[in-house]
Amino acid sequence: MKITVLGCGALGQLWLVALSRQGHSVQGWLQVPQSVCAVDVISPQGQESRLQLPANNTAHLAASDLLLVTLKARQVSAAVRALLPQLQADCAILLLHNGLGTREELPVLVQPLIMGTTTHAAHREEDKIHHVYAGTTRIGPGNSQAQQASAIAQVLNQALPEVTWHNNITASSWVKLTANCVINPLTAIYDCCNGELESHVAEIEAICREVAMVMDREGYHTHYESLLFYVSQVIRSTTDNISSMLQDVRAQRHSEIDYINGYVLRRARAHRLSVPENQRLFDLVKRKEESYGQNDSALSDRW
């Protein structure tokens, strides 16, 4: 397949390595005007893959069968909009990010839109991407044109397993969103690893109750108890993790709060529901972000 990966950070580089290893014709799409994308990934087993892949080639983009978008949620809509005029009508666009709400920011697409979530864990240290946990990826249709696109899951599964296709991906994304609504702001506020949240039971329960209520109004039937069970499992299985939001806050970068608790707030407002615990955590994280740059040691927004 001809593939363009938009956003060559931690997750993007995992996919660039995995897809090129399978013999796919891949390129990276970068913000900077460069024709080469340097990729350096250390696998969970400690093996290093260093590649120089093509980048920003407009002919490659125009012939791509898949645009794999591995940007932070707030970067997605502007970056995808800018490339849309150059994509062929049957180029599938796969959005792989934490949170929800980017689909609503995009115009009506002619291309198949695929949405996904992933539990891989990778982070950048200097110029290398450390792939620390080989997780799973769930993808599914984000518009009617993508309903027949399940073969893409098989292609991706061969490159970086396990990838599974879910016809009702939005319901599944809401469940993953609940874990992010709990773990991300709480770890950022308490400046702690995921496992330490086990002592914050009341807040965890309150968030799960609110998300279950909003999900229900959205038409995704769930039980508060099953969300709570799922979130507790994620906390236990990622006990030593520094969540992506805590990493962002520590580095004084914008977090994805607008697409996590912020998305719950927007959907709650649409249904005239009150979600005070999500609002409180959202406000606390926003306050942290607003304090960036208020001292001399403020870090840049970039790594």
Residue among 72, 176, 286, 288 flagged as catalytic:
176
**3-state secondary structure string, the chain?**
CEEEEECCCHHHHHHHHHHHHCCCEEEEECCCCCCEEEEEEECCCCCEEEEEEEECCHHHHHCCCEEEECCCHHHHHHHHHHHHHHCCCCCEEEEECCCCCHHHHCCCCCCCEEEEEECCEEEEECCEEEEEECCCEEEEECCHHHCCCCHHHHHHHHHCCCEEECCCHHHHHHHHHHHHHHHHHHHHHHCCCHHHHHHCHHHHHHHHHHHHHHHHHHCCCCCHHHHHHHHHHHHHHCCCCCCHHHHHHHCCCCCCHHHCHHHHHHHHHHCCCCCHHHHHHHHHHHHHHHCCCCCCCCCCCCC
Q: Which is nearer to ligand PAF, 60 or 123 (CB)?
A: 123
Positive or negative: CA dihedral 244, 254, 27, 153:
positive
Which member of 64, 111, 244, 278 binds ligand PAF (CB under 6 A)? 244
Active-site annotation holds for 176: yes
184 binds ligand PAF (CB under 6 A): yes
172 binds ligand PAF (CB under 6 A): no
Which does residue 278 bind out of ligand PAF, ligand NAP, none, counting CB within 5 to 8 angstroms by kind? none
Which residue stretch of 72-80, 101-109, 178-186, 293-301 sits at the interface with ligand PAF (rule: CB under 6 A)?
Answer: 178-186
CB count within 10 Å of CB 56 equals: 18
Residue 68 binds ligand PAF, judged by CB under 6 A: no
Smallest gap from Cβ 207 to ligand NAP, in A, equals 18
Question: Tokens 């024709």 label which residue?
Answer: 35
Q: Which residue is nearest to ligand NAP (CB)?
A: 9
Residues 219-258 that bind ligand NAP (CB under 6 A): 244, 256
Contact between 96 and 118 (Cβ < 8 Å): yes
**Contact set for ligand NAP, span 116-175 (CB under 6 A):** 118, 120-122, 124
User: Under the criterion CB under 6 A, does residue 11 sit at the interface with ligand NAP?
Assistant: yes
* Binding of ligand NAP by 27 (CB under 6 A): no
Interaction of residue 180 with ligand PAF, rule CB under 6 A: yes
Query: Starting from the edge strand earliest in sequence, which strands make up the sheet with 128-133, in order?
Result: 48-54, 36-42, 128-133, 121-125
Is 241 an interacting residue with respect to ligand PAF (CB under 6 A)? yes
| Residue 145 vs 170, nearer CB to ligand NAP | 170
Kindly state whether residue 195 participates in binding ligand NAP, applying the rule CB under 6 A.
no
- Applying CB under 6 A, does 261 fall inside the site for ligand PAF? no
| Stretch touching ligand PAF by CB under 6 A, among 14-22, 78-86, 143-151, 177-185 | 177-185
User: How many residues form the binding site for ligand PAF (CB under 6 A)?
Assistant: 11
Q: Which stretch binds ligand NAP (CB under 6 A): 9-17, 46-54, 58-66, 263-271?
A: 9-17
Does 94 engage in binding with ligand NAP (CB under 6 A)?
no
Q: Rule CB under 6 A: which residues touch ligand PAF?
A: 98, 179-180, 183-184, 194, 234, 238, 241, 243-244
Residues identified as active-site = 176
